[in-house]
Structure 1
Amino acid sequence: MNHLRSLPRPAACAGVTLIQALVAMAVLGILTGMALPAMQQTRDRLQADSLRMQLASALATARNTAITERRRITVCPTDDGIHCSRDWSRGWMLHRAATPSGQDPGQDPILVQLQARSRLSAHGSQHKPTLQFRPDGQLNGSNQSVIFCLDGSAQGKVVVSRQGRIRSERPRRPEAC
């Protein structure tokens, strides 16, 4: 038996028209434009969380080093890895305290961690430039916090108690910086 099939009509084989492609690209562009701010906000929040956890880890390292070496260890914010500054979001440096105040880095730093520039800022709650752990692991002075801010809103903080305990917090509701 011979079955003959008819060939499809040319109109049925046609692809997407130029107008259909342009409409699809316009819809895709609009959806991308709507999703971009939410993705950027999520990226900024994740960056703040990462920075907060890294600082908490560095502070735990400083405390453990102070106890192990039986000497004062200072942690200070730094922009360049050499000098102490005020903004914790650019990085930090651990060093053996050369002076009782701990302001002067003195010897080679134990640890330097620099961060890329971002919209994030971080500052000490009491605007103290350094945190210093004593040989017994306690904080030199009173409780201190480092607060991470983005666009005037607190993204989290690292709190160090006078006893040297370190905890990291993220606010449940938006808080002003």
Structure 2
Amino acid sequence: MTDPHPSLPTRPAAAGWSLLELTTVLAVVALVCLLALPALDGVVTRWRADMLRMQMVTAFNMARNTAITRSQPLAVCASADGRECGTDWERGWLIHRDDGPDARPLTDTDILRFQRGSSARGVRAFASTGRSRLRFQRDGRSSGSTLTVDICAGDALHSQVIVNNVGRTRAQRVPQPTPCPD
């Protein structure tokens, strides 16, 4: 059969989406993202708590190894500003030379390293009662009682970093949902 109108060019069907289809798809995607956002916030907070735990384990191991290598007592303490020891482990910590049990002001030559912690909201870290700092002797032993740093993500205890008297560091995630101790 021949084309009844040979002089009219045939037009291919238009490819692509109409404006109405595109707007509908974008509205559905925006709605799904809006609904998923609160769930993602909890996941991100737990990831940040994991990162803080891994950084602490690394810092404690580095301080112990440095104390052994230098044959010099070292300490790790919570610090927000990199100059003075404090109590907020989530803000950061200092590794410094340790000349005794008194908490004296640190000089620039005493400070070996300052590590910023997590600035994420919802992530908190605090040490066991009575341990404001972690001390390593020349042989790598940790003097005093066992140090436990509890890391909370939101209102739940997320994980713990534990340093025993021998100076070995271990970390564990809390398997069951537990309220964060105050």
Letter of the 2:93 counterpart: W
Q: TM-score, normalised by structure 2?
A: 0.84
CA shift at 1:155, angstroms? Answer: 1.6
Q: Which runs of 5 or more residues in structure 1 are unaligned?
A: none
1:141 matched to 2:157: no
- 2:45 equivalent to 1:22: no
Partner of 1:167: 170
Query: Measured at CA, do residues 113 and 14 of structure 1 come closer, stay the same or move farther in structure 2, by a change above 3 Å?
Result: closer
2:131 maps to 128
Look up the equivalent residue of 1:146 and give its one-letter code: V
User: How many angstroms apart in 1 are the aligned matches of 2:174 and 2:77?
Assistant: 24
**Do the aligned partners of 1:102 and 1:132 also contact (CA within 8 Å) in 2?**
no
Identity level (%): 34
Equivalent pair of 1:97/1:105 in contact (CA under 8 Å):
no
The one-letter code of the counterpart of 1:110 is L
Determine if contact 1:56/1:167 at 8 Å carries over to the other structure.
yes
Give runs of aligned pairs for residues 54-69 of structure 1, distance below 5 A. Answer: 54-69=55-70
1:98 pairs with 2:96: no
Distance 1:29 1:125, change over 3 A: same
Please tell me the root mean square deviation across aligned C-alpha atoms, in Å: 2.5
What runs of 5+ residues in structure 2 fail to find an aligned partner? none
Distance in 1 (CA, whole Å) between partners of 2:14 and 2:137 is 80
CA separation of 1:33 and 1:147: change in aligned 2, threshold 3 A: same
Which amino acid counterpart does residue 115 of structure 2 have in structure 1? Answer: Q
User: Residues 65 and 14 of structure 1: is their aligned pair in 2 closer, same or farther, counting only changes over 3 Å?
Assistant: closer
Paired residue secondary structure (2:158): strand
Per-residue deviation, residues 88-134 of structure 1 (Å, max 9, x unmatched): 11111100113334554344311111135211110002252111111
* SS of residue in 1 equivalent to 2:132: coil
CA contact (8 A) 1:138 1:163 kept: yes
Retained in 2: the 8 A contact 1:91–1:114?
Answer: yes
